Amino acid sequence: MSDIYTEGTEELILNMGPQHPSMHGVFRMIIRLQGEIVTSIEPKIGYLHRGLEKLAESRTYAQFIPYTDRLDYLASPHCNLAYVQTVEKLMGLEIPERAEYLRVIIAELARFASHQVFIASSALDMAGWTAWGYPFRDRERILDMFEMLAGNRLTVNVMRIGGINAEPPEEFWPALQSFVDDMPEKIEEYYNIYLGNEIAQARMKKIGILPKEVAENLSITGCALRASGVNYDVRKNEPYGIYDRFDFEVPVLHGCDTFDRNMVRLMEMNESLKIIRQAMRDIPEGPVMAKVPRVIKPPVGEVYHRVENPKGEMGFYIVSNGTTKPERVKIRAGAFVNLQCLEEIGVGTYVQDLIASFASLDAVLGEVDK
Amino acid sequence: MENKEILRKRVDELAARVNGKVEESLDFLVLTVQAPYITEVLTAVKNFEDVPCDFLHDIAGVDKLEHFEVVYHLTSLRGPQKLRVKAIVDREKPVIDSVVKIWAGANFMEREAYDMFGIEFTGHPNLRRIYMWDDFEGYPLRKDYVTEPPEVRDKMRVRKGED
B62/A contact by beta carbon, under 8 A: yes
For residue B12, is pLDDT > 60?
yes
CB contact at 8 A, A288 and A150:
no
Q: Is residue A107 part of a domain?
A: yes
* DSSP category for residue A283: P
> What's residue B154's pLDDT?
66
Nearest CB among A51, A214, A219 relative to B56 is that of A219
Chain B residues touching A313 at Cβ < 8 A: 57
Residue A287 forms part of a structural domain: yes
Length of chain B: 163
pLDDT digits (tens, 9 = 90+) for B109-136: 999 999 999 899 998 888 888 888 888 8
Q: How far apart are the first and last CA of chain A?
A: 49
Q: Give the model confidence (pLDDT) of B50-104 as tens digits.
A: 888 889 989 999 988 889 999 999 988 888 888 899 999 988 888 999 999 889 8
pLDDT for the residue A106: 92
Q: Which residues in chain B have Cβ-Cβ distances shorter than 8 Å to A51?
A: 140
Give chain A's domain count.
Answer: 1
For residue B105, give how far its alpha carbon lies from the nearest alpha carbon of chain A (Å). 4
Angle between helices A258-282 and A351-360 (to 10 degrees): 20
For A75, the domain range is 49-369
CB pair distance less than 8 Å for B108 and A340:
yes
Q: How many C-beta neighbours within 10 Å does residue A365 have?
A: 25
The alpha-carbon gap from B63 to the nearest alpha carbon of chain A, in Å, equals: 8
Q: Inter-chain contact A217–B25, Cβ cutoff 8 Å?
A: no
Say how far apart CA A153 and CA A146 lie, in whole Å.
Answer: 6
The structure's pTM equals 0.89
Smallest CA–CA distance from A238 into chain B, residue: B80
- The answer to whether the CB atoms of B131 and A49 lie below 8 A apart is yes
Where is average pLDDT lowest: A40-49, A267-276, A305-314, B154-163? B154-163
Tens of pLDDT, residue by residue over A273-311, are 999 999 999 989 888 888 888 888 888 888 999 999 998
A337, A341, A342: best to mutate for the B interface, most B CBs within 10 A: A337
Closest approach of B162 to chain A, Cα-based (Å): 27
Q: At a CB cut-off of 8 Å and minimum separation 6, what does B151 contact?
A: none
Flag whether A42 is in a domain: no
| CATH label of the domain that carries residue A319 | 1.10.645.10
**pLDDT at residue A316 in the model:** 92
**Binary contact (A332, B25; C-beta < 8 A):** no
Contacts of B80 in chain A (CB under 8 A): 237-238
Measure Cα distances from B87 to A59, A71, B143 in Å. 27, 28, 18
**Contact assignment for B80 to A54 by CB distance below 8 Å:** no
Q: For chain A, give the mean pLDDT.
A: 88
Å from B12 to nearest chain A CA? 21
pLDDT exceeds 60 at position A138 = yes
Angle at A38 between CA A32 and CA A44, to 5 degrees: 55
State the pLDDT at residue B1: 59
Question: Residue A1: its pLDDT value, please?
Answer: 45
Provide the ipTM. Answer: 0.87
Q: Is the Cα torsion angle A33, A34, A37, A38 positive or negative in sign?
A: negative
- On whether any CB of chain A is under 8 Å from the CB of B113, the answer is no
Task: Say if A43 falls within a structural domain.
Answer: no
Which residues of chain A lie closer than 8 angstroms to B141, CB-CB? Answer: 53-54, 328
Which residue among B26, B60, B105 sits closest to A89, beta carbon to beta carbon? B26
Q: Is any Cβ of chain A less than 8 angstroms from the Cβ of B114? A: no
Q: Examine residue A28 and state whether it is found in any structural domain, yes or no.
A: no
pLDDT > 70 in chain A, percent? 98
Give the tens place of pLDDT for each residue, A191-219.
988 888 888 888 888 888 889 889 989 98
Exposed / middle / buried, residue B3 (Cβ in 10 Å: 0-12, 13-18, 19+): middle
Average pLDDT over residues A147-171: 88
Structural domains of chain B sorted by starting position, each given as residue range(s) with its CATH number in brackets: 3-157 (3.30.460.80)
> At B50, which amino acid appears?
D
Q: From residue A223, how far is each of A104, A251, A258 by CA, in Å? A: 19, 9, 11
Contact A150, A165 (CB under 8 A): yes
